[in-house]
Structure 1
Amino acid sequence: MDDNKQNRTVIEAEIPMGPVHPAALEPYRLRLFVEDEIVRDAEMTVGVNHRGVERIMEGLPVEKANSLTEKICGICSNSHIWNSCRTAEIALGIEVPERATYIRIIMEELERLHSHLLYLAHGNEVLGHETFSMRLFYIRETVMDLLGMIGGNRVQYGSAVLGGVRPRCQLDEMRLQKISEGMDLIEEKVTAFADRFVSDPMIMSRITGVGVISSKDALRLACSGPTLRATGVAKDLRTEMPEYDPFEFDVITQDDGDVKSQLLMRVFENFEAIKIIRQAVRDLPEGSITNRSWEMQDTPITKSYIEVPRGTLYHSYALEDGRVRNCVIRTPSMANIGAMQYACIGHHITDAQLSVVQCDPCFTCTDRAIEIIKI
C-alpha cells in the first residue's frame, strides 16, 4: 500500500454559519458537515425572525388582514398583499376592473425588477465584487423611485385593495411617461452590466459549475421560480394566471443549474419584466380602478397561487362574518430551502454561502409560520 495513502488523515468537522452572515440581510443557521474542507452534508434552520403572522391574522377583518400580509416581507410586499386580496376576490366573486389589473401587473413587475436587482447586487457582494454590487444598487434606485411615485412609499406601497387598487395609485400621463423613461434607463444599464459581467473571466470561472442542481433534483426537491427554471424546467405560473393573458413575454430558462445559471436567470428575467411593463403602460385601459359593488359573505377556505420573484406564492383562508379564519401562507423560499442545502454538498466550504445565496432566499418571508403541537 502507498505510504502516503496509509498515513492520510481525514478531518471531519461541523462548521456552523450564522445566524448572522456579512453577505446576508436576514438571519438563518447553516450547519456544514465537512470532510477535508469538502461539504458532505448540510442542514439549514430558519425561525430566528419568527413572528406568527398567520396566527395574528386569525379573526381580523379581511381588509385589515390583507394589509398585515404586506408586512411579511420588505422585498416582495406587493406580492403578498396582492395575493391576499386575490384570495378574497376569488372567494367573494369580486370582478377587478381591467385598469386596476394592469396597474397591479405594473406594480408586480416593478417589484420583480427591484427584487432581481437586489439579488444580483448581493450575489456580487458574496463574490467579493463591490463595484458590480454598488452599480446594481444604483440601477435599482430607479425602480424604487417608480414604486414610491405610484404607491407613495419605497417599501410596502399598499397598492392593492379588495376590488382593485388604492386611489393614490391612479396613473396619469405624467406618471406613465416617467415609468416609460425609467424602463429605458434600466434596460440600458442592465444591458451594460450584463455585457461586463459575462465577459469577466474571473467571475465566470468562479461561478461556473458551482452549486449545481439538476432538473431531476430540482423537481424532486419541489423547487420553484427562477431556482427551478435555472435547471432547464420551463415552469412559470404567470403563463397560467388570467391577469397575464394580455401580455406577451418569454419564459426564461438556463440549462446548467449552477450559480452562473441562477445569476443569468435574473438578468434575463429583468428584460421580460420591462417588456411586460411597457405593454401595460401602452395598453392601459380606461375606466375605474376599484370595484366596491360587492357584499361580504361567509366563504369556505379559498386558495390562490401567483408567481412572485422567487417562485410560487400560496395564500388561503376562509371568511366568517367578514373576518379571516384558517389562514395559511406558503412562500417560495420554503420550497427552495432543500435546494439551498443540496447545492452545498460536494463543493468546497468556501462555496457554501455562494450556493445558498444563488437560490435567492427570503427568510423573513419564510419565518412567519407557527406550528402548534400537543405535549
Structure 2
Amino acid sequence: MDGKREIIETEITMGTVHSAAIEPYRVRLFVEDEIVRDAEITVGVNHRGIERIMEGLPVEKANSLTEKVCGICSGVHLWNSVLVAEKGLGVEIPERASYIRIIVGELERIHSHLLYLAHGNEVLGHETFSMRLFYIRETVMELLRLIGGNRVQYGVPIIGGIRPRADLDEMKTQRISEGMDFIEEKVEAFAERFTSDPMVMSRITGVCPISRKDALRLHVTGPTLRATGVEFDLRTEMPCYDPFEFDVITQDGGDVRANLLMRVLEIFESINIIRQALRDLPDGRVVDRNWEMQDTGIVKSYVEAPRGRLYHSYAIEDGRVRGSIIRTPSMSNIGAMQYACIGHHITDAQLGIVQCDPCFTCTDRAIEIIDLNAER
C-alpha cells in the first residue's frame, strides 16, 4: 500500500441501557485504534416534565414534588425548593430545625457517596468492594428512615422548619450517633484495604484525568471539581453551616483515583458535621408557622448537593409556583464526562464517565428549542 496506513474511525454506542450504567443514557464513542478520539453523551430518556407539572401547584405541594426529581438526592432538592419559598417570603426558621436539616443533608451526602463508591467498584469489576459498600450504606438508609419515615423520600424540610415527626428525641439521637461510629469504622477499613491493593490502584491511577484548568473551563462542580485541586465548596457560603467546623477536601490530578478518594474523605467530614450537630443541637421548636403567603418575584437558591451546586428558582403568585427552574450538578459535569474519555482506551471510557458521579435522571429537564421553520 505504498507505505500509507489507512485510519478508520469507528463509532461505538453504549446505551440507552447498558450493564455498566445504573440509569438510561446514551454514550457515543468515536474510536480510532481502540483510543477514544471524541465522545458524546445524550440524555433525555428519563424526562418526566417535573418543572411543567409544578407550574400552578400550591407551593407546599410543588415543594414535595421536587423530591421526585432524584431518588439519590431527593432530600436536598426538597430543601433547596423550600429555601426558595423561605427567601421570598422572609421566613426565619428555628435554629433546631436548621441543625436537623444539616443532619439529614449530611446523611444524604454519605449515602450518595457510598452509592458512588459502590457503583465505581462495580465498574472496576470488584464486586466484593461494591457489596461491602452497599452493606455500609444500609445503615445510612435506615437512619434516614428513622428520621423521616422513608428510606428514599424522607420529606423533612417544610416552609418554616421541618415536619414535627422528624424532630430528634433521645432515642433517635443515640441511634444516629451509634450509626456514625459504625460507618466511620467500616469506611476506614474499606479505605485502608482499597488504597493498599496494588492492582486496584494501578487500574485507576492516572486514568481519565481532568486538569484544574480544564475543570474550570468546563464549569465542573462539586467533588469532581475539588478532585482537580480547586478548593471550593458551596457549604462554606451557606449561612446554615456557619456553626460547624469542617475541612474542604481536595485532591490533585482529577483522575479516577482522585475522585474515588474525594468521596471517601468527604464521608469523614460529613460524619464530623453530624456529630457537631448532635452535640450542640439547640432546644426549642422545629417549625415556625408565623408567616403569611404572599406574591414574590423570581427567587433563586443554590446549595451544595452531594454532586455539586444545585439551583432552584421560582416565583409565587396567589400561593402557587410560577416559572420553576431546576439545574442539577450533572448538567454542568456532562462536559467533563465527555472530555475525560478522550485520548484514553475504550475500556477506560466508562470509568471516565462514572468518576464524575453522573445522575442523568435528575438532569433530564434540559430541553433544546428547535425552529421548525429553519432551513435544514
**Residue deviations 1:239-295, cap 9 Å, x none?**
000000000000000011100000000000000000000000000000000011000
Aligned residue for 1:50? 47
**Residue deviations 1:34-55, cap 9 Å, x none?**
1100000111100000111111
**Residue deviations 1:151-210, cap 9 Å, x none?**
000011011111111111010011000000000000000000000000000010000111
Aligned residue for 1:233? 230
Q: Secondary structure, in 3 states, of the residue corresponding to 1:306? A: strand
Alignment TM-score, normalising by the size of structure 2: 0.97
Matched, 1:132 2:95: no
Could you list the structure 1 runs, at least 4 aligned residues long, displaced by more than 2 angstroms after superposition: 5-11, 368-375
- Taking only the aligned residue pairs, the percentage that are identical comes to 77
Q: Secondary structure, in 3 states, of the residue corresponding to 2:65? A: helix
Matched, 1:338 2:346: no
Task: Give the alignment of 1:351-370 within 5 angstroms.
Answer: 351-370=348-367
Give distance in 2, aligned partners of 1:88 and 1:16. 43
Select 1:187's aligned residue among 184, 189, 192: 184
User: Is the 1:234–1:252 contact (alpha carbons within 8 Å) kept by the matching residues of 2?
Assistant: yes
Aligned residue for 1:283? 280
Aligned residue for 1:209? 206
Q: After the TM superposition, which of the residue ranges 88-97 and 19-28 deviates more from structure 2?
A: 19-28
Select 1:319's aligned residue among 316, 320, 330: 316
Q: After the TM superposition, which of the residue ranges 224-233 and 24-33 deviates more from structure 2?
A: 24-33
Aligned residue for 1:155? 152
**Residue deviations 1:94-128, cap 9 Å, x none?**
00110000000000000000000000000000000
Aligned residue for 2:69? 72
Task: Give the alignment of 1:298-317 within 5 angstroms.
Answer: 298-317=295-314
Give the counterpart letter for 1:157 in structure 2.
Y
Matched, 1:218 2:215: yes
Give distance in 1, aligned partners of 2:303 and 2:3. 57
Aligned residue for 1:110? 107
Give the counterpart letter for 1:261 in structure 2.
A
Give distance in 1, aligned partners of 2:260 and 2:254. 10
Select 2:239's aligned residue among 225, 239, 242: 242
Gaps of 5+ in 2: none
Give the counterpart letter for 1:33 in structure 2.
F
The offset of 1:23, in angstroms, is 2.3
- Relative distance call for 1:324 and 1:370 in structure 2 (3 A) is farther
Aligned residue for 2:140? 143
Give distance in 1, aligned partners of 2:351 and 2:366. 26
How much is the aligned-residue C-alpha RMSD, in angstroms?
Answer: 1.1
Give the counterpart letter for 2:309 in structure 1.
T
**Residue deviations 1:197-233, cap 9 Å, x none?**
0000001000011111001000000000001000000
Q: Secondary structure, in 3 states, of the residue corresponding to 1:326? A: strand
Give distance in 2, aligned partners of 1:109 and 1:22. 30
Q: Secondary structure, in 3 states, of the residue corresponding to 1:34? A: strand
Alignment TM-score, normalising by the size of structure 1: 0.98
Select 1:262's aligned residue among 249, 259, 263: 259
The offset of 1:11, in angstroms, is 2.9
Aligned residue for 1:85? 82
Gaps of 5+ in 1: none
Aligned residue for 1:297? 294
Give the counterpart letter for 1:364 in structure 2.
T
Give distance in 1, aligned partners of 2:16 and 2:63. 30
Q: Secondary structure, in 3 states, of the residue corresponding to 2:303? A: strand
Q: Secondary structure, in 3 states, of the residue corresponding to 2:311? A: strand
- Relative distance call for 1:175 and 1:231 in structure 2 (3 A) is same
Give distance in 2, aligned partners of 1:245 and 1:156. 27
Aligned residue for 1:30? 27
Give the counterpart letter for 2:207 in structure 1.
V
Count of aligned residue pairs for this structure pair? 372
